[in-house]
Chains A and B, each alone.
Chain A
Amino acid sequence: MNPIESDVDIWDDDITVDPYPTYTALRDLGGVVHLPKNDLYAVTRYDLIRDVLADPASFSSTTLGFNPMVNEALQGTSLASDPPVHTQLRATLSANLTPRALRGLKVTIDEKADKLVAELVATGSFEAIDSLARAFPLDIVADLIGFSGHVKDNMLRWGQAAMQVIGPLNHRTQESFPIAGELYGWCSSVTAEDLAPGSIGRGIFDAEARGDIPQGSAGHIIHQYLGAGVDTTIASIGNIVALFGRHPEQLKLVRENPELVPAAFAEVLRYWTPLHIWGRTAVRDVELGGVTVPAGAQLGILLGAGNRDPRHYDNPDVFDVTRNPVDHLSFGYGPHGCAGQGLARLEGHAIVEALARRVKSLTLGDGYRVPSNITRSFEQLQVLEVEAA
Chain B
Amino acid sequence: MRIELDRPRCEGHGLCEEAAPALMHLDDDGELVIDSPDVDGEQDIAAAKAAVRVCPVAALKLVAA
What A residues does B57 contact at CB under 8 A?
333-335, 337
Q: Interface centre among B8, B14, B30, B56, by most A CB within 10 Å?
A: B56
Q: Are B56 and A99 in contact, CB atoms less than 8 angstroms apart?
A: no
* CA A100 to CA B19, docked complex, whole Å: 19
Instruction: Tell whether A388 is near chain B: CB-to-CB under 8 Å.
Output: no
- Choose one: B9, B14, B30, B53; the contact of A327 (CB below 8 Å): B53
Instruction: Tell whether B54 is near chain A: CB-to-CB under 8 Å.
Output: yes
**Which residue in chain A gives the minimum CB-CB distance to B53?**
A327
What A residues does B29 contact at CB under 8 A?
100
Q: Are B58 and A54 in contact, CB atoms less than 8 angstroms apart?
A: yes
B62 to chain A, nearest CB (A): 14
How many A residues face the partner with a CB closer than 8 A?
20
What B residues does A331 contact at CB under 8 A?
56
A377 to chain B, nearest CB (A): 22
* CA A40 to CA B18, docked complex, whole Å: 38
B58 to chain A, nearest CB (A): 4
Q: Are A98 and B56 in contact, CB atoms less than 8 angstroms apart?
A: no
**Which residue in chain B gives the minimum CB-CB distance to A262?**
B18
What A residues does B9 contact at CB under 8 A?
87, 335
What A residues does B56 contact at CB under 8 A?
331, 333, 337-338, 341
- Further 11 A-B residue pairs, CB within 8 A, beyond A97-B11, A334-B58: A91-B8, A98-B30, A99-B11, A99-B12, A100-B12, A100-B29, A326-B54, A327-B54, A333-B56, A333-B57, A342-B12
A351 to chain B, nearest CB (A): 19
B contact patch SS: loop
What A residues does B12 contact at CB under 8 A?
98-100, 342
7 closest A-B pairs by beta carbon, nearest first, are: A100-B30, A334-B58, A98-B11, A337-B56, A337-B57, A326-B54, A99-B12
By size class, the interface of chain B is 10 to 19
* CA A94 to CA B15, docked complex, whole Å: 17
Instruction: Tell whether A311 is near chain B: CB-to-CB under 8 Å.
Output: no
Report 13 cross-chain contacts, Cβ distance below 8 Å, ordered by A residue: A54-B58, A91-B8, A98-B11, A98-B13, A98-B30, A99-B13, A99-B14, A100-B12, A326-B15, A326-B19, A334-B58, A335-B57, A341-B56
B interface residue numbers (CB < 8 A to A): 8-9, 11-15, 18-19, 29-31, 53-54, 56-58
Which residues between 312 and 333 of chain A lie within 8 Å of chain B, taking CB atoms? 326-327, 331, 333
What A residues does B14 contact at CB under 8 A?
99
What B residues does A339 contact at CB under 8 A?
11
* CA A337 to CA B15, docked complex, whole Å: 14
What B residues does A103 contact at CB under 8 A?
30
* CA A338 to CA B15, docked complex, whole Å: 14
Q: A91-B8, A99-B12, A99-B14 are in contact. Are A337 and B30 (CB under 8 A)?
A: no
* CA A165 to CA B15, docked complex, whole Å: 33
* CA A342 to CA B31, docked complex, whole Å: 14
A261 to chain B, nearest CB (A): 13
A12 to chain B, nearest CB (A): 31
* CA A99 to CA B29, docked complex, whole Å: 10
* CA A97 to CA B56, docked complex, whole Å: 14
Q: Are A342 and B11 in contact, CB atoms less than 8 angstroms apart?
A: yes
* CA A326 to CA B31, docked complex, whole Å: 20
Which residues between 95 and 120 of chain A lie within 8 Å of chain B, taking CB atoms? 97-100, 103
What A residues does B15 contact at CB under 8 A?
326
* CA A342 to CA B13, docked complex, whole Å: 7
Q: Interface centre among A91, A103, A337, A341, by most B CB within 10 Å?
A: A337
What B residues does A326 contact at CB under 8 A?
15, 18-19, 54
A329 to chain B, nearest CB (A): 10
* CA A309 to CA B14, docked complex, whole Å: 25
What B residues does A333 contact at CB under 8 A?
56-58
